[in-house]
Each structure stands twice: as structure tokens, then as C-alpha cells.
Structure 1
Amino acid sequence: MSGVRRLGARWRRQRPLRTRLALAASAAVTLVALGVCTAAFFVIRYEMFHQLDLNLTQSATRLIQEHRGERPEVLAGECRFLSAPACAQIVPAAPSRDPAAAYLLPVSAPVREVAAGERAPYFTNITLFGKPLRMLTTPIGEGNALQVALRSDTVETGVRQAAGLLAAVGLAGVLVAAGLGYWVARTVLAPVARLTSTAERIAATRDPRHRIELPPGPPDRQDEVTRLATSFNTMLGELEQSVTAQRRLVADASHELRTPLTALRTNAELLARSDRLTDAQRDRASGALGRQLREVTGLVNDLIELARDEEPRPLLEEVRLADLADHAVATARTHWPAARFQLDIAPDARGVTRPGVPARLTRLLTNLLDNAAKFSPPGAPVEVGLVTYAGTMELTVRDHGPGIAAQDIPHLFDRFYRAKAARALPGSGLGLAMARQIARAHGADLTAEAAAGGGALFRLVFPAEG
């Protein structure tokens, strides 16, 4: 049994899916066709012999009625040539009562039993003068049995013709089944073949822009294979966006790192010849090297944060945004002593929580506060507010700096994008991009707009929990 199972598994591995599906469909249709033909043959055979038995029964009934009360001698000469409608004879239960003439139809012990009333009437097939006959043996009167026979060669010929016709129909059904199996396999697996071809093309070219061609039709009436192809196209779209974003990130990072690394190398080479420098020059080069190292470190850390995927679900916890805002503002006051931070938290927002990762949400708030403090004039307030309404939480950060130009708003959250007003200020252009990525990972929406009266206004909105 295990050997048969291993052979079946090997056959499945060696045969392609299209061949196996075609063979399975063909086998199913073939079995149905052969089953129908076989059932039809037995039904036809039964009906034809049943009709012959009815004719025998009618002939026997007629003879019984015609010879009621008398002993007939039914051994006509026509019977010998089998040209009479029915060949009949009467057999007594006791052999001593047999007529002098020999019986034409065969007489056996069961016939005597029927004549004696010890056996029920029965049908049997016999051969007489080289011709097949169907014979009925039934009681007639007391102590006698009537035997009636009819030629059955026409019935058997009809049965053979029906068998030949049904065999031809079955063979045609097998051929049709093979054609249908091939067509079904080709039609059903066409999207799978296109999916496989697209996957192989992507693997060979490493280009996720390829898509599987879908058949026309409304999306709500697609079959399972078409839905699989649609899902594969969706996955390819996401993969293309991810690959494009990663390539852009690498290209932008290489561009942004080139300048500070060049400065680092210059200052390092300068310090390597420190014996030619004065103490003041050495201190300036050392200080510049330290600042540049910090800038490169911050840039690399920002790139690592941007390259991270969303936090896994087990790391999420219920976070009080009010507490995070208190901590972020307190930290910003120490980093930006020249800025004046004003925190206004609505009383009903104090106890509200949202699922999230505290460290990443703190990084989001810190980036917004650092951005606001960087653009605020000395002594100007940075206004931070947290309110809740209809289950929605909204955190706002507003500065009183130069504001945001209309042409900069669509690109403000792009990686390494720096507005014209920010190009002279420190920073890598990754803070706001990182803030929006963290917001989206937590199901929130981060937007920017020009504030009324000047400055920039950032809104972080957490939707109501479903």
C-alpha cells in the first residue's frame, strides 16, 4: 500500500498541474459517460425482455381461456418451424399421463413441479432448432403445466444493436471527455499560467512593474483564480512601491551623506597633520569634527528609523497621549531654552488612551516640537494643544516663524525635502517624513498648513476607536 502511495506521489510530482487537471476532468466525464451507457444498456435489455415476457404471459392467458375445461393438444406442425405466434404444449404432473408423441419443448423436473402446484411459474431461455426461445411455464387446470415459447432472437439482436450503439456513444463520450478535459485545464489554468510567467519574468529581470493580464468583467463576478491574480497584482504594486521607496531612500541618503562625509574626511586629514596647526586651529578642527560626527550619527539614526517597518502588534500598548505630550514638551524646553513652549491639554483628554508604541510616538512629538522651535524667533511661543471630540483626539503644534509656502506643502513630508527657508538651518530633512511614517503606522493622520496670523500649524489626528 505504501508503495502504491509513493508511486502516486511520484506521478503527481512528475506531471504538470495542467496534465493532472485534464486527466482528472477527462476521467470524471468518462466515468459518467460509461456509467450512463452501462445503465442505459441494462435498462434497454430489461425492457425488451420484459416486453417479451408480457407477450408470453398474454399468450398463455389466451390459451388457458380458449381451452378451459378440456385437454388441448397443442403440438401443431407450425410450431416445428417456429413460424406460429407461440409454440405451446401441456405437460401433466405424472409422467404416466404423457402423450405418445414426443414433447417438442424440453420437459424437466421443475416443469412437473409447476404442474403439481409445487413451484411457481417461471421463465427460462432455451434453444430449439438452432433458434433461441424464451419460454414460460405456468399451471393450467389441475395437475397440468402449460409451456409457451416465443422466439427471442429478435430481442437478442436488438440488445446487441443497442450494446453496439451505446459502446459507440461511450467511445465518443470518452473522446469528448478528453477534449473537454484539455479545454477545461487550459481555460481554468490560463490565469495561473500568466501568474507563473509574470513571477518568472520578475525573478529574471527583478522588475516588479510587470502585471498579470486580467480577463474583462466586473470585479464582483471574478472567479477564485482571477481573484488570486488580482491579489498578486496588488502585491506586485505594493512591492513596486516598496522597492521604489527603498531605492529613492538609498539614493537620497547617499546624496545627503556625501557632503558630511567629505567634511569629516577633510577635518580628519587636517587633524592628522596636527603638528602643523596652532592650538586654535586644532580646537576648531576638533570641534567641527565632533559636530559633523553628531550630524552624521543623527542622520544615520533617522535613516534607520525610516527604514523600519511598522511595529509588530505585540509591542503595542495603551498610551496616554497627554502624558507623552507633557514629557515631550519638558524635554524640548531643555533642548531649546530660547523657545517658549505653551502646553494646553483639555481636561477630558487627560485620561484618554490610544494603542501605540510609546517610544515611537515620543519621537513623533519630539520631531514636531524640534521643527517648531527651529523656525520660531527667540522668545516666540510654540503652542501645543491636545483636545478630544466625538472620540477623536487632535494634537496641534503651532509656531510663529516664517510659515509654509503654498508650493512647499505638498512636499513637506517627503524625505530629505527642505524648504527654501530651511536650507540655512541645521537638519537633514528627515524629521517630518519620519513623523508622518510613525503617524500612519498608528492609524493617525499628520497634516501641515499655514497658520492664521503667520507661522506653521501641524495637526496630528487620531480617529475614534471602532
Structure 2
Amino acid sequence: MALAATAAVAVVAVGMCVAAFLIVRAQLNHQLELNLTQYARLVAQRNHGVGPGVISGECRFLAAPGCAQVVPADPRNDPADPYTLPVTDTARAVAAGKHAPYYSEITVAGQPTRMLTTDFAPGRALQVATRSDTVERGVDQVARLLTLTCAIGVVTAGFLGSWVARTGLAPVTRLTATAERIAATRDPRHRIGPASPGPQGAPADEITRLAASFDVMLDELEKSVMARRRLVADASHELRTPLTALRTNAELLTRADRLTPRQRDRAASAVHRLLREVNRLVADLIELARDEEPRPLLERVALAPLLEHTVSTARDHWPGVAFEVRVTAAPVVPGVPARLTRLVGNLLDNAAKFSPPGQPVQVGLDAHELTVRDHGPGIAEEDLPYVFDRFYRATTARALPGSGLGLAMALQIARAHGAELTAERAPGGGALFRLTFPGRPG
């Protein structure tokens, strides 16, 4: 950008200087020609009717007004004394009226001279001349000044272009440095920061928007990295206990000959139970680590049959819990059936887990939302903000089976489908979960 700005200014400066030089030179030469014209008129007025010959021959002196001579059309009428100014056939043609007056550059007494040849009288022409070295020196001086001005302008443009480029691209420089720092340290917490603030109310320029967009991208990257790290840390913490117990029971089974049949059965049962627990935990972690489903995989899902199938599965899994289902509408929503089934199943499992004996789990479906309510101890006020966090387990739930991933997974599936999942304390006790889909169902 600095080179481009300098080159642009250099082209403009050189063009302006060349144009100024040509204009000044033309004006100086034009002024000299006007002086020659006025001098010729003055000589013609003072020497009207004079014959061929030199009228004034002082061209060699700078202070002299000039030199003048009359030239006949016929060379046989030339005077005996030599002419001061050179006489050409063109000058005799002007005297004969066959050529227009003209200006010419000559040298007199070793000095550059400007000469005007014009008509004087029938059969005669008047030649007047004056030294032009003053004009040439003025033109040379103007050329030197314009060259110096152009050079200073180009150098100044280079410095200013470099300063403007560095200032204007400072966010890009910080962006590059930030990207390199993140690549080297793998730490996405670095930010570019706001660019130089512009006038109040002025729209942000492209560089400022680029820096802001890069910071937004870094925010999302940091959230993604931190979520992945938390998931890995929480998963390793949750897997450590069942894996340790599984390894202990497996080691016991390797020495089965030293165990009683009852001890072997207990160890084998523990291994099977722990394997199921680890398998479910890993499946939940894989589900949580998945991104949102791509749009081509979505299809129209009827919630009423899906709810009926999910409740039937929950009754088989929780034979001691009664499920009361009330369906007042049959909404159809875009989604992935398997994931929606997992969402509703997790809500039903959570409600069944906290339902006391003899109390039902109430499930409702209307045109706008799906509700699941239990009559258990409910959600404590201090636990309500964290109920959907991964691996979070309230004090009242720590003695119950589960890994603390079911509600987190349900929330993730709901968000992937553009739905809203909320939890609240139900009137009269228990917990109430609401799943609201966007827009009116089809």
C-alpha cells in the first residue's frame, strides 16, 4: 500500500510538474514574442519608408532593446554593408508577400536570440530580434525548481504513504500477530482489540469490521476449545470410577479359582453392570460431542406417535412408575426422529428417577409444547440455573443412578432443532420441563 500510494502520488506529481513546466515555458516564450511584436511596431513607426539595411545592431548586449533590419525581396537591392541578422529565402518571401510573418531561433554574437520576420512595406520585410537567454535561464530555473519540488513531493508521499499504510493496516498486523501467537501457543484467549475509534456515529470501515469479526471468531473458538476441554476433563473424571471398579472386578475374575461361587457371581454381575454403565456414558459423551444435524437429514416428524413409542419404552424400563399421557394435538415438526426420541426419553427417565412410589409422571402434548412433570422433591432454587449443565448432579440426586448427562444432552438436541427446553418448579411440588418448538406446527 505504501508503494502503491507513493507511485500514485509520484505519477500525479510528475504529471503536474511537467504540465507546469510546459505552461511556464510557453508563457515566457509568448511574452518574449509579444515584446518582439511591440518592438517591431515601434521600429516600423519610427522608420517608415527607410530602405534596406541595418536599423539597430545591438543584439549582442543584454541590456539593449534589440536589433532590427530591413530586407528587400530582391537580393540585388541589398545594401553594401552586411546584415546583422541572417537573411534567408523565407525572409525574402515575407518581403515579397508570399509568406506569413514567423518567429525563429538564431544565434547572434554567440548569444541565443529570438527573431521576428514580418512585413514592412511593399517589397520589403522587417526583421527584429532580441536576446532570449534570459528566457532560457528562467525556463532552466523553473525546471530545476519543479524537479526539486517533484522529488520532495515523491519522498514526502513515500513517508506519508508508509505511515498511512502502517496506521490503516495496524488491525491486520495485530490480526496476523494474534493468529501466529494462537498457532504457536494453541491459546485462543488472545484478542486483537478495537481499532482506532472513528468519529461519533461514523460507520466502521472494512479493517475495523475485519478485526471485530476476527475477535468474534476467536470468542467462538475459545468457547469451543473450553467446552471440549471441560468435556474431556469431566469425561475422564466420570470414567475413572467405573473403569477402576471394572478393572478391580476383572482382576478378581482372573483369579476365579480362589473365589467362592457367590463371589464370582457378584464380580461377574458387577462387570456386566459396569460395562453397561461405561457403554451408556460413552454413548452419551459421543452424543454430546456431536454437532448440529445438517439440514438435509431433517424430516417431518409427527410428535404424537413418537411420544407414544417413547412412553411405551419408558414403561418397560420403569415398570414401577405410572405414566399419564394427555395429547390434545398432533403437531408435526422438522427434525431427526432418533434424536427427538432420545430427547423425550431422557426427560421421561429423569422424571421417573425422581418420582416417589405411587405418584405418576404426567406427560402432555399440545399444539405448542411438550411437558413432562414428576411429583418428586423438585428442583432446589440454587440448583435451577445448573440443571442442564454437563455432569451436574444436585445434592438430592447424588445417590441415584446416572451420570448427569441426560438433561445436558436433551438441551443440546433441543437447541439443534431450534426448540427451547426449560425447567421449573411445578406447583404443588415436583419438577416441570417444557419443550417448546419454534412457530406453529405443520
1:72 to partner: Cα distance: 5.3
User: C-alpha separation between the residues in 1 aligned to 2:59 and 2:398?
Assistant: 125
- AA aligned opposite 1:209: R
- Indicate the SS of the match to 2:372: strand
Instruction: Tell me which of 164, 167, 170 is aligned to 1:187.
Output: 167
Closer, same or farther: CA 24–286 of 1 in aligned 2, 3 Å? same
Q: Verify the 8 A CA contact 1:78 1:84 in the aligned structure 2.
A: no
Q: Does 1:418 align with 2:393?
A: yes
Q: Does 1:294 align with 2:276?
A: yes
Closer, same or farther: CA 94–340 of 1 in aligned 2, 3 Å? farther
User: C-alpha separation between the residues in 2 aligned to 1:358 and 1:72?
Assistant: 121
Q: Does 1:273 align with 2:273?
A: no
- Indicate the SS of the match to 1:75: strand
- Indicate the SS of the match to 2:366: strand
Q: Does 1:331 align with 2:313?
A: yes
Closer, same or farther: CA 394–96 of 1 in aligned 2, 3 Å? farther
User: C-alpha separation between the residues in 1 aligned to 2:13 and 2:239?
Assistant: 74
1:300 to partner: Cα distance: 0.5
Partner of 1:395: 370
User: C-alpha separation between the residues in 1 aligned to 2:126 and 2:370?
Assistant: 110
Partner of 1:43: 23
Instruction: Tell me which of 204, 208, 212 is aligned to 1:226.
Output: 208
Q: Verify the 8 A CA contact 2:310 2:341 in the aligned structure 1.
A: yes
User: C-alpha separation between the residues in 2 aligned to 1:105 and 1:137?
Assistant: 10
1:417 to partner: Cα distance: 0.7
1:62 to partner: Cα distance: 4.8
Stretches of structure 1 lacking an aligned partner (at least 5 in a row): 1-20
Closer, same or farther: CA 258–144 of 1 in aligned 2, 3 Å? same
Aligned residue runs from structure 1 range 33-432, under 5 A: 33-63=13-43, 70-71=49-50, 75-79=54-58, 81-82=60-61, 83-217=63-197, 221-347=203-329, 349-350=330-331, 352-354=332-334, 356-388=335-367, 393-432=368-407
Stretches of structure 2 lacking an aligned partner (at least 5 in a row): none
- AA aligned opposite 1:453: G
User: C-alpha separation between the residues in 2 aligned to 1:258 and 1:80?
Assistant: 113
User: C-alpha separation between the residues in 2 aligned to 1:79 and 1:373?
Assistant: 126
Question: How many residues were matched structurally?
Answer: 437
Percentage identity across paired residues of the two chains: 65
1:159 to partner: Cα distance: 0.8
Closer, same or farther: CA 161–334 of 1 in aligned 2, 3 Å? same
Is the deviation greater in 71-80 or in 99-108?
Answer: 71-80
Cα deviation code 1:167-216 (max 9, x no counterpart): 22122223312322332233233323323333333333332222224345
User: C-alpha separation between the residues in 2 aligned to 1:142 and 1:320?
Assistant: 117
Cα deviation code 1:105-154 (max 9, x no counterpart): 21212223333444333221111112222122233444443323222111
Closer, same or farther: CA 237–116 of 1 in aligned 2, 3 Å? same
1:404 to partner: Cα distance: 0.8
1:440 to partner: Cα distance: 1.9
What value does the CA root-mean-square deviation take over the aligned residues?
A: 2.7
User: C-alpha separation between the residues in 2 aligned to 1:86 and 1:463?
Assistant: 100
Closer, same or farther: CA 378–164 of 1 in aligned 2, 3 Å? same
Is the deviation greater in 446-455 or in 143-152?
Answer: 143-152
